[in-house]
Amino acid sequence: MLLVALPALLLVALAIKIESRGPVCYRALRVGHRGDPLTVLKFRKMRVGTSGPPVTAAGDERFTRIGAFLARRRIDEIPQLWHVLRGQMSLVGPRPEDPRFVALHQDAYQDILAVRPGLSGWTQLVFRDESKLIGDGDPVRRYVDDLLPEKVRLDRLYAGDRRLTTDFKLLLWTPLVMFCRFDVEYDGQKKQFRLVRHSSVRRPPTRPSPVRRTSAVPTEQRQDRWCCRAPPNFSSAPDVMSRDAPRAGRTSTGGQKTGGPKMGIPMSGLSNIRAVILAGGLGTRLRPYTTIIPKPLVPVGERPILQHIIDRLRAVGVTRVDLCVNYLGGLIAAYFSQTRIEPGIQLHWHWEERPLGTAGALKAVPDLDQTFIAMNGDVLTGLDYRELVDFHFEAGAALTIATHKNPVNIDLGVLETVGSYVSAYREKPTLHYDVSMGVYIYEPRALKYLPGGECQFPELVQRLLAAGEKVAAYPSDAPWYDIGTPQEYERAVQDIALLTEL
């Protein structure tokens, strides 16, 4: 089949090259059979150097002219015949999906990914004109809210009722849809697909039948590898997992309090708030302690730093902790596999394929679709997490940073001047600055400002401010130890009696 299509493929490749500089094909990361990563080949549709959301609407300015035509006819996916020859895909099957969208419907994809993904299928034919269906407005929101649930439903139908006659029908209908102005629609009442003339196709419902989402089964008990690791080299895109779900004490529209406990905090404490601990750093400032063990396992008293943090979170009601690990992460996981953790808290592990930075590491964690705590894995503090979360909700911020007054001693005389004249003189003053404690409260919308690849926390803050988002500062005078240097570590060890009371 590839040999038959070769002349047409060469003509398409030539047209792409003539119109714009850049490669003929590009690679896109998708979720393959049984959740294995699948890097699919596609004809390049966009101008080189452009970036944007992972979903394209009709008239997207990134398209080249030939690219827009390829997208309309789904010809851009023909190079995936190579994956069919390699046994990674079939001619017919569910559509291979972006890992970020798979993470939104993990339960459904447990069934769908039991089948090898296909070059053509019900989803590919029904949604051939996907760019038009997305329409104007936010393409990611339209895709996530309206199109994706319907796609999941159709792919699940195929995976649950595979028949040879169905595959033959799909192979026959595919060229009619691509080249002869036919379309496929699904009749939900009769539960059957129909081949219809292009003009008679109805748009998919704006609120399709709901598809059940991720269950509460701990990640480590599931075999869904695609949602446990962040795929590498994601381009910058709006946060597809962001959902403004109702929170305790708030209206479903995110409006005013409706009574009960403090805003956002249920009576059970922080049981509805997830905590993400960033434990993937190299710990270079704490050497030689971190030469052979990762910094989160450096002991303070009879327990490592990380266990102090987890115990503190459990004490305030947090029931789920996501740990992002990289450097010597196997040792961290091995320690907790052999250590008894107090009941009532679940640990979920997320491995960074490469260092992603103090903000970028959050891309390794799926389903961050509600307010969550994030903190560095080397911070010991008596901070009141409940008050911090309350403050965050009251501020209406995309991100809240817990801060601490930190003294900085100046060993020289400091002059204050007006023009060429001295107006004041302070001998060796002590200045006080509000510094980050390494503990944060995030709203999901903050994650859409993360760029592709590595991102450090200061860069994310600058991006939020540049976009006009609110970044709040929560002042605290609680005990705080940033165990990033030998001096700070020794101070924590000396104050171990205080730490046991935090």
pLDDT of 156 reads 93
Q: Worst-scoring range by mean pLDDT, 1-15, 34-48, 271-285, 308-322?
A: 1-15
Same domain, 126 and 241: no
Does 417 fall in a domain? Answer: no
Distances (CA, A) of 249 to 3, 242, 315, 318, 452: 63, 20, 22, 18, 35
Higher pLDDT, 321 or 289: 321
- Using the 3D structure, point to which of 142, 176, 200 is the last residue of a domain: 200
Same domain, 275 and 178: no
Does 473 fall in a domain? Answer: yes
Range 110-132 average pLDDT: 89
The CATH number that applies at residue 267 is 3.90.550.10
Q: What percent of the chain has pLDDT over 90?
A: 16
Does 294 fall in a domain? Answer: yes
- Using the 3D structure, point to which of 183, 200, 217 is the last residue of a domain: 200
pLDDT digits (tens, 9 = 90+) for 249-306: 333 333 333 333 333 333 345 767 889 998 876 666 656 555 566 778 777 777 788 8
- Whether 131 shows a pLDDT value over 60: the answer reads yes
pLDDT of 250 reads 31
- Using the 3D structure, point to which of 179, 200, 221 is the last residue of a domain: 200
Task: Give 443's pLDDT tier (boundaries 50, 70, 90).
Answer: very high
Does 411 fall in a domain? Answer: no
Same domain, 168 and 31: yes
Does 211 fall in a domain? Answer: no
pLDDT digits (tens, 9 = 90+) for 192-236: 888 887 654 444 444 444 443 333 333 333 333 333 333 333 233
Give the count of domains, the chain.
Answer: 2
Nearest of 373, 389, 399 to residue 469 by alpha carbon = 399
- Whether 119 shows a pLDDT value over 80: the answer reads yes
pLDDT of 133 reads 83
Length of the chain: 502
pLDDT of 152 reads 94
Same domain, 494 and 350: yes
- Cβ-based neighbour number of residue 428 at 10 Å: 10
Does 88 fall in a domain? Answer: yes
Residue 120, H or E segment: strand 118-120
CA-CA distance, 385 to 313, in Å (whole number)?
Answer: 8
Paired with 184 in beta bridges are 195
Paired with 42 in beta bridges are 26
Does 349 fall in a domain? Answer: yes
Same domain, 91 and 37: yes
Does 422 fall in a domain? Answer: no
pLDDT of 94 reads 94
Mean pLDDT score across all residues of the chain: 77
Q: Is 15 helix (H, G, I), strand (E, B) or coil?
A: helix
Same domain, 122 and 170: yes
Higher pLDDT, 241 or 66: 66
Same domain, 192 and 282: no
Straight-line distance from the first to the last Cα atom of the chain, in angstroms, rounded to the nearest whole number? 68
Same domain, 361 and 475: yes
Same domain, 196 and 238: no
Question: How much helix, strand and coil, in percent to the nearest 5, is found in the chain?
Answer: 35, 25, 40
Same domain, 190 and 269: no
> What residue numbers bound the domain in which 135 lies?
2-200
Same domain, 181 and 265: no
Task: Give 341's pLDDT tier (boundaries 50, 70, 90).
Answer: confident
- Cβ-based neighbour number of residue 89 at 10 Å: 23
Same domain, 120 and 239: no
Paired with 304 in beta bridges are 299
